[in-house]
Structures are given as C-alpha cells and as structure tokens.
Amino acid sequence: MFCVAFFISFVGGWAIFWGAVASQAAIFVLFFTDFLDFSYLYYNMIGCVGCVVLSMALQFAVSRRQMPPGS
C-alpha cells in the first residue's frame, strides 16, 4: 500500500484498498492450500507486487469507464 501511495500518485485510495484486500486474499489462498510451495519470505514480495498491480488495474478499469464516449 505504501509503495503505491508514495510512487504512483494517480491511483486513488479505493483502488489501493481493494487491491490490498485482493492481494491479501491471494496470500491466504497460497498459504493455506499449498498450491505452490513458496518460502514464507516470498509472501511479502507477492503481496506487494499484487497490491501494486491490482490497484493500478482497478484504477485504469474505472477511469476508462468514466471517460466520455469518443475520447
């Protein structure tokens, strides 16, 4: 969350919040299902990258939808 807030200024707070919720849910799924066998130290990196990518994707998706037609 802090990486997005400090380095990517165009992303809104709601996008950061839902990106963080989704990335934390992904971490829980990876941890409890043993889907992929990661060392626990990689969960920090996966969560950070997931939050950044998901929050930017959410911001782009909503900002595209709010643009007037023809732009």
- Answer for the pair 40, 46: CB distance below 8 angstroms, yes or no: no
CB-based burial, 46-59: b 16+ in 10 Å, e otherwise = ebbebbbebbbebb
What ranges do the domains of the chain cover? 10-59
Give the tens place of pLDDT for each residue, 6-53.
888 888 889 999 999 999 999 999 888 877 787 889 999 999 999 999
pLDDT at residue 71, as a whole number: 44
Which of the two residues, 69 and 64, has the higher pLDDT score?
Answer: 64
Task: Indicate the residue type of 57.
Answer: A
Q: Which two tokens stand for residue 24?
A: 């934390």
Q: Which two tokens stand for residue 57?
A: 């994707």
- Answer for the pair 19, 54: CB distance below 8 angstroms, yes or no: yes
DSSP secondary structure letter of residue 47 = H
